[in-house]
């Protein structure tokens, strides 16, 4: 990790840049795949599955037999762990339910708001060297609680044409209605347009690499909503001499092993602590099975020394981390004043990996600074709010004149007439 001492504020933007490609670098590829899937459906899906995943499939759809085989192959210990996580995630997301909001704004004018589930949602689950079956829980559980009717899961097949059994187990456990063996850009395109085997959905959820992120953003041009622009994972830790250097190093590495384009940052008011963490990172990384991946991410990451907590907080809010760990003697200062973060982890015994798996909070979070404007996935992500109103005769008499005046001032005569005709009938 590169160590930076007391950077000037004017240099923060450059220092805090993410190690990501620009959209222009990959937009051409994404556009090409989208155009072909839109035109050729499953034929294009098969072409790009062969090209990117190096496998030819006789069918995209996961059968009931495959699901049963997967369930049987998952160890009882892992099943029990997944069930613990399912329980905690369910408890936390159930608690997010809200009741109908209803109010009489004027005498005879009743307005209310109710939430309805998004009928058709697509869940993208990364596969490859790190099959994220935990993400199935994070997306399918709130979708199920919200009452989504169609929950379509897409995940890339391995070279044997299979999806990791733990993904299938979790999907079956959490009420996914259809599982499709397709990944990457072609999966997002399939969910966007619909194909012979992939249903078209109204909203797409899930993390992915930079190609998936750009594909999700492109899908919005075709009328499909997305959860957020969620790209490569990132973590920022703020810590001082009261923290445990080995714990902090383990947290930094836990995110670094996600991918070479992940980014981890340590911000500290102690140069000595930064040195301790640097030593621990070098020590712990040697034993990681994914050490080559983690090392590439660490090479793109930084340790930043600042003079005090106020400067640290300003820098952190400017960065807007996906995951934010606070381990200082003044945790409350950061917790009370953080404005831009996807999810916050407080104290020496709250590792970020707890949120990734089993504490109950959702791990699908905004990256690349989007925490400045986006929330992480939650129950509301799978619903939309519909407003209702009912106006009585007394109500239209009370507000009718205001509507007429405002419509007339905007030059919208038909709007005014819609009220005037009613008021005339009531006054006659």
- Does 113 count as an annotated binding residue? no
- Phi/psi at 265 (nearest 5 deg)? -135, 135
Could you give the angle at which helices 271-285 and 291-299 cross, rounded to 10 degrees? 150
Q: Is 186 annotated as a binding residue?
A: yes
What is the pairing mode between strands 383-391 and 343-346?
unpaired
Catalytic residue among 323, 339, 394, 404: 323
Q: Could you give the maximum distance between any two Cα atoms of the chain, in Å?
A: 88
| Closest residue by Cα to residue 240 from 270, 266, 264, 281 | 270
Antiparallel, parallel or unpaired: β 2-5 and 101-106: unpaired
Q: Is 72 exposed, middle or buried (0-12, 13-18, 19+ CB in 10 A)?
A: exposed
Contact 251, 352 (CB under 8 A): yes
Question: Has 40 been annotated as catalytic?
Answer: no
258 labelled as ligand-binding? yes
Q: Binding site annotation covers 404?
A: no
Q: Which of 168, 181, 164 is nearest to 56 (CA)?
A: 181
Does 410 show up as a binding residue in the annotation? Answer: yes
The response to whether 119 counts as a known ligand-binding position is: no
Q: What does the alpha-carbon distance between residue 378 and residue 212 come to, in Å, rounded to a whole number?
A: 21
- Catalytic residue at 323? yes
Angle in degrees, CA 17, 23, 26, rounded to 5: 125
Q: Which of 234, 257, 280, 322 is catalytic?
A: 322
Round to whole Å and give the CA distance between 397 and 391: 10
Annotated catalytic residues are 322-323
Annotated binding-site residue numbers: 124, 186, 209, 233, 255, 258, 323, 356, 410, 415
| Binding site feature residues for substrate | 233, 255, 258, 323, 356, 410, 415
From the annotation, which residues make up the binding site for Zn(2+)? 255, 258, 356, 415
């Amino acid at each position: 990790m590169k160590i930076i001492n007391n950077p000037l504020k004017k240099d923060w933007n450059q220092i805090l840049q993410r190690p990501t490609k620009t959209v222009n670098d990959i937009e051409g590829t994404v556009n090409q795949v989208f155009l072909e899937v839109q035109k050729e459906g499953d034929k294009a899906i098969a072409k790009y599955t062969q090209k990117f995943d190096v496998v030819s499939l006789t069918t995209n759809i996961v059968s009931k037999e495959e699901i049963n085989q997967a369930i049987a192959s998952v160890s009882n210990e892992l099943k029990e762990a997944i069930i613990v996580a399912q329980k905690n995630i369910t408890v936390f997301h159930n608690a997010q339910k809200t009741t109908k909001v209803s109010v009489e704004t004027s005498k005879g004018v009743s307005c209310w708001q109710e939430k309805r589930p998004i009928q058709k949602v697509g869940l993208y689950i990364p596969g490859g060297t790190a099959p994220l079956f935990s993400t199935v829980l994070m997306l399918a559980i709130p979708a199920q609680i919200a009452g989504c009717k169609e929950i379509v899961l897409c995940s890339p097949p391995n070279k044997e044409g299979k999806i990791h059994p733990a993904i299938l187990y979790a999907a079956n456990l959490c009420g996914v209605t259809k599982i499709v063996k397709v990944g990457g850009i072609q999966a997002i395109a399939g969910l966007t347009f619909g194909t012979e085997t992939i249903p078209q959905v109204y909203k797409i959820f899930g993390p992915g690499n930079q190609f998936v992120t750009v594909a999700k953003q492109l899908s919005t041009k075709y009328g499909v909503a997305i959860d957020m622009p969620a790209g490569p994972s990132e973590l920022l830790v703020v810590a001082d001499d009261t923290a445990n250097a080995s714990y902090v190093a383990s947290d930094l590495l836990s995110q670094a092993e996600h991918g070479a384009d992940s980014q981890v940052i340590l911000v500290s008011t102690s140069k000595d602590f930064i040195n301790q963490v640097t030593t621990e990172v070098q020590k712990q990384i040697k034993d990681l099975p994914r050490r080559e991946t983690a090392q590439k991410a660490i090479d793109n990451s930084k340790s930043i020394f600042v003079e005090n907590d106020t400067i640290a907080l300003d820098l952190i809010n400017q960065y807007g981390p996906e995951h934010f760990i606070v381990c200082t003697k003044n945790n409350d200062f950061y917790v009370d004043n953080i404005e831009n973060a996807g999810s916050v982890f407080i104290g020496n015994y709250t590792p970020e990996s707890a949120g990734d798996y089993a504490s109950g909070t959702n791990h699908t979070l905004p990256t690349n600074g989007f925490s400045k404007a986006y929330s992480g996935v939650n129950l509301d992500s799978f619903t939309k709010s519909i407003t209702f109103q009912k106006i009585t005769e007394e109500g239209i008499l009370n507000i009718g004149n205001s509507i007429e005046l405002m419509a007339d001032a905007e030059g919208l005569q038909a709007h005014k007439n819609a009220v005037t005709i009613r008021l005339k009938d009531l006054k006659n």
